[in-house]
Amino acid sequence: MRFSNFLFPDAMSAADDGRVIDETLREARLTDALGFDTIWLAEHHFDGIVAYVDPVAFAAALAVVTSRARIGFAVAQMALHHPVRFAEQMALIDHLSKGRLIVGLGRGTAYNIYDYQGYGIDHTEAQARFEEAEAIMMQAWTGQPVTHRGRFFDLTLPELRPSVFTRPHPYTIRAAATEHGMLEIARRGQPFMMNVQSNAVTAYRMDLYRRTLRETGLDDAAVAAKTDECWVWRNVFVAETDAEAERIAVPAFIAMHEHRVAMRNRIHAEHGASILPMPPPGSEPPPHAAVEHALIHGSPATVAAKLAPLKATGVGGLIMQFRLGPMSHEQAANSLTLFHDKVMPAL
């Protein structure tokens, strides 16, 4: 099983932006030095829930300050990117990282309508924009001339430069937040990234993923290989004792989710705009925002025991977010180090 760090750093106010960006670079260097497999980056806009905002620019920075860890997107919001510009940027980072890039793709946020509004994009077009953009990008990476006449893009280019470092193109993977999305990816015979789910849901979806791959005609070896390329996301905090982890992680996790919905609530109150229906006041949080479902915390032994069932699902990698909400850099760095020193060997 591969272990990774998802850099998803909150800047609780604009005054915190620069400090948190600097601390996130320090966390990336530590992750690389400890030998974690991958550093993952997110993309969200206008609210501070991802301090560096732009995973493309930040990935370029990480490519030159790290040397071992792969650098992946979880995910780039493709509805907000021009495919030719994005293809060029990925080719450059592919060279800077010497092939360590993972191009994780998704349509865009399913929650924050202001991400689309700020870019002048109709959120109902996000999936269609994603599909068209991905097809153009793949064609551009071949190094051949591209002429495309589509719903959203009308373009002609003679040749993409720089050419890609990784042949035939940088490694790509899609995210799936729903069972339906996962099935679509499986029917294509591709690996996927799963968002935060319970262990039971994770196990069910991985079994369904394997069954669907077999239905496409893949043999057992190919199914195992594709399953090994899949990733699941967990929020993780490790401390010396269960009590210390409870004291630090639970308030930070709750504050993180309060911050993630604050701008969403504000925009809905001011403009009446939202992607999904707004939950009634006092509603129970969804599973991905509930401590009992979405936060794995405790001593090294406790965390190892809570993560062990994921090995049985056959999934190849864990995307783990260690810094949660207003948690300090020092607390996150200590958790990351404890995970490396005491949890990894147990798993």
Q: What is the CATH number of domain 2-343?
A: 3.20.20.30
Each domain of the chain, given as residue ranges in start order, spans: 2-343
Task: Give the C-alpha distances (Å, rounded to integers) separating 228 from 213, 223, 317.
Answer: 13, 9, 7
Distance CA 212, CA 216 (A): 7
197 by DSSP, 3-state: which? coil
Q: For 276-315, what is the HEC assignment? A: CCCCCCCCCCCHHHCHHHHEEEECHHHHHHHHHHHHHCCC
**How big is the chain, counted in residues?**
347
pTM for the model: 0.97
For the stretch 30-89, pLDDT in tens is 999 999 999 999 999 999 999 999 999 999 999 999 999 999 999 999 999 999 999 999
> How high is the pLDDT of residue 286?
87
Burial level of 259, CB count in 10 A (0-12/13-18/19+)? middle
Count of other CB atoms within 10 angstroms of residue 13: 7
For the stretch 200-226, pLDDT in tens is 999 999 999 999 999 999 999 999 999
